[in-house]
Chain A
Amino acid sequence: MAEFIAWVLVLAIAAYACAGGTDYGAGFWDLLAGGAERGKRPRWLIDHAMAPVWEVNNVWLVFVLVIMWTGFPTMFQAVFSALWLPLALAAVGLVLRGAGFALRKPTRRLARRRIYGAMFAVSSLVTPFFLGAVLGGIASGRVKVGTTAAADAWANGTSVLAGLLAIAATAFLGAVFLCSDALRFGAHDLVDYFRVRALIAFGAVVVLALIALPVTRDDARYVWDGLTGGLGLLLIILAAVCGLATVLLLLRRSHGWTRYTSVASVALTVGAWGCAQRPYALPTSLTVAEAAGAAHTLRWLMIVTAIAIVLVGPALVLLYRLDTMGELEELTDADTGAVRAAGDDL
């Protein structure tokens, strides 16, 4: 049972990495889009692509936390005690990011939109870095039950590389999705713009992964072994195949499947990490079975999850379907009858 819930947790993390990751990636490209003029078109696309789905994508994180404290309370306590600072910074990043994005849309003055935009873009970089660093800290075995908050738990090679990899992966996902979105919204000039960026981001992922190989070999030995052998290696290879397939499709400009292959590569990587860590929740000090909460609760957690999938699944499919069919559109001033007021820049 605990094993099963642990897989649900890994799936939720994978879902957040893919859904939330795409949004972080969009924020990353928003940051690099250049000044107000040069970046206008990419930002327009990013806004339109993210707007209907970013709130939903964000909720996966809440779900990850809830499964953690309900299913594995000991592990939750250990992680939040040992990795206090990166988690606190990630939380602050989440506030700034969401607020920046949400407030930028209805704001009319250019100066203010610049501030909100900068808030959104910078925290899109900071948040995944710290969340990645947290995963790195856990994978390196530095978090044990009773570890107090210390910089060592997250300021180390493995954590930093995991954080950078998280940024690169989100940038990759974001660019791939924006590529398809540009096509969908008929902004053909932006297709190539994001195609190049997707390829660069993939290159960054590969380079970082290659650097990570020797650096983490001794630092995170247990997970390293898991990722370079057995089922973990198989999943990593599959992830690499999916990533390469994405690149090939991008090069051939056939964008139909790129979103699926890029998501698959990230999800498979998360899955490989889950495999590599088995049977530990916190590598080499706390197994999943030891960390698990009461059996009765786990059973109910599973029931609640099953009911929720039945309820939420169709709604989620509907949302993504309506979104990709272009049926979702923001209300405009024409709909709410607003007029331009003095001082509006736009």
Chain B
Amino acid sequence: MFSTAVLLANTPDQLLPARELMAFTLASHILLVPFGVALPFITLLMHHRGLRRNDPVALLLARRWSAVMAVQFAIGIITGTVLSFEFGLLWPGMMGRWGDVFGLGFGVEAWAFFLEAVLIAIYLYGWRRLKPWTHFWLAVPLPPAALMGAFGIIAANSWMNTPQGFSLDARGRPIDVDVRQAIFTPIFGPEYWHFVVAMLLTAAYVVAGVYAVGWLRGRRDRYHRLGFTVPFTVAAILTPVQFMLGDSAARAVFHKQPIKFAATEIVWKTDTHVPEYMFGRLNSDGTISGGLKIPQLDSILAGFKPSTQVTGLTSVPAADRPTAVQATIAHWAFDIMVTIGSLLILLALWYAWSWWRHRDNPRGRWFYRCAAISGVACLVTVECGWITTEVGRQPWIVYHRMRVSEAVTSTDASGIWTMLGIVMAVYVLVFGAFLAVVLKMRTRWRIADEGSAAARAELPPEDDTPYGPRSEPEPAAAAVAPDGGSGHTSGGAS
């Protein structure tokens, strides 16, 4: 009780809105990240197939995916830029003190991202005029650039989890910065690979899920088959890999951030033979309500034998560890992530078994139903993974070095609440509009595929787009927009 009062007294008013704002913008941005990192890779796979086998269906898929990529990448750039503003607007204390220690990761990321933006522009706008293979090869550096960008971001985040590469002077300010140590921190490797595979996996399941829905609705043509099989195969191969990586990441947390591990597993007292709780709620007196208790399992998972000692939350003062609520949040996020991951393994095995036995995709509707929701489930795991790592680190923004409350801006709380309101409204609009645009594109493509070829033939190919090819003189050049609101300027459109 006393410690709670102390915590409250030390908490500036603006901390809550600053946290909420950061959480909201990150939670939104992270939904786009899988596509920024992995959609180019999946599209290039399809593109390559289309070019090598001279397969128009594969090429059509690649083109359509890149049309989606264009909108998605734009929204991702915008939300990403907002994040870099927010580092300064919300956490000036952290950037001011530690910017030169861990900022270089962002430097790498910024350049990689720059390269990605350049390459993606060339790829998206190169379809029509560049030679097919030149166009393809110019895009090949895209996936490595995306991996490089992820490298920078994860380097910065893993530094916040396991900070090193500096020493402190008498005033507690960092000196003797060693950049290499600050980038390659202990948690970096496990976190990086876990993240990269998660991004690939998620993008692949989401794309495959779209075509699984089409299959369920009776569209069983080659187009849907290909659109499903290529990304789903990528995802199915990566799912078990991800399970191993996740396990090693959890063990790295056990060794390097024992309190975070205790929070995600809601371990109260340091002990051996610690049971594993599936879900359940940690109360502030250390008891656990609900949940499924499996004796000894937590110790076994952490160190492969029941006698493994697991550090508990109470090994540090209450002010230095997540609260019971925060621990419960991290625990639930972690358990949801693991549960979904395990279910996805079953799905991947189902797929593998079917290919092994029948050389074909499974035929049952249930398989496609599961595949259809796997994408959404993956997005949930991405959110959960991020919540686990961020909430589990509380109350530290830099683990054991700086509290979130020390990093927060001194700006008035009401200003940040207002900003949060504005940003939420804007983001809801932007993401809603983004979704609407993508769904609209899908509808238009579907109608086209469903054989309204006659209807399409009536329209000259360029005329039903608002923006035709640029290098040809605009047909309406002479007649400056004489038509009404619903018409189109291009000659012969109607």
A interface residues, Cβ below 8 angstroms from B: 36-38, 40-41, 44, 47-48, 51-53, 55-56, 58-63, 65-67, 69-74, 76-81, 84-85, 87-88, 90-92, 94-96, 98-99, 101-103, 105-108, 110, 113, 116, 148-149, 185-189, 293-294, 296-298, 300-301, 304-305, 307-308, 311-312, 315-316, 318-319, 322-323, 326-341, 344-346
Known: A44-B474, A63-B111. A319 touches B122 (CB 8 A): yes
Q: Which of the listed residues A44, A148, A338 has the most CB atoms from chain B within 10 Å of its own CB?
A: A338
Known: A105-B467, A187-B473. A92 touches B456 (CB 8 A): no
Contact (Cβ within 8 A) B82 A95: yes
Known: A56-B114, A297-B101, A316-B118. A103 touches B434 (CB 8 A): yes
Contacts of B89 in A (CB 8 A): 80, 84, 87-88, 91
Contacts of A340 in B (CB 8 A): 444, 455, 459, 464
Q: C-beta contact mask, B114-128 vs A, less than 8 Å → 1, else 0?
A: 110111111011111
How many B residues touch A, CB cutoff 8 Å? 112
Residues of chain B from 18 to 55 with CB closer than 8 A to chain A in the complex: none
Determine the residue in chain B with the shortest Cβ distance to A148.
B410
Contacts of B138 in A (CB 8 A): 318
Contact (Cβ within 8 A) B470 A185: yes
**B80, CB-defined interface residue at 8 Å:** yes
Contact (Cβ within 8 A) A328 B129: yes
Chain A to chain B contacts (Cβ below 8 Å), 29 pairs: A37-B483, A48-B467, A48-B470, A56-B121, A60-B114, A67-B107, A69-B88, A73-B100, A88-B419, A91-B81, A98-B78, A99-B78, A99-B426, A102-B78, A108-B440, A185-B474, A294-B175, A319-B122, A322-B130, A327-B129, A327-B130, A328-B122, A329-B127, A329-B128, A333-B444, A336-B60, A339-B455, A339-B459, A340-B459
**B343, CB-defined interface residue at 8 Å:** no
- The CA of A80 and the CA of B79, in the complex, are separated in Å by 18
Q: Which 5 A-B pairs have the closest CB atoms?
A: A293-B100, A77-B96, A73-B99, A70-B103, A80-B88
Contacts of B98 in A (CB 8 A): 73
Main SS at interface, chain B:
helix
Report how many A-B pairs have Cβ atoms within 8 Å: 348
Contact (Cβ within 8 A) A334 B461: yes
Contacts of A85 in B (CB 8 A): 415
Contacts of A37 in B (CB 8 A): 481, 483
B interface residues, Cβ below 8 angstroms from A: 60, 63-64, 66-67, 70-71, 73-75, 77-82, 84-89, 92-93, 95-101, 103-104, 106-111, 113-115, 117-122, 124-130, 138, 166, 174-179, 409-412, 415, 419, 422-423, 426-427, 429-430, 433-434, 437, 440-441, 443-445, 447-449, 452, 455-456, 459, 461-462, 464-474, 476-477, 480-481, 483, 485-486, 488-489
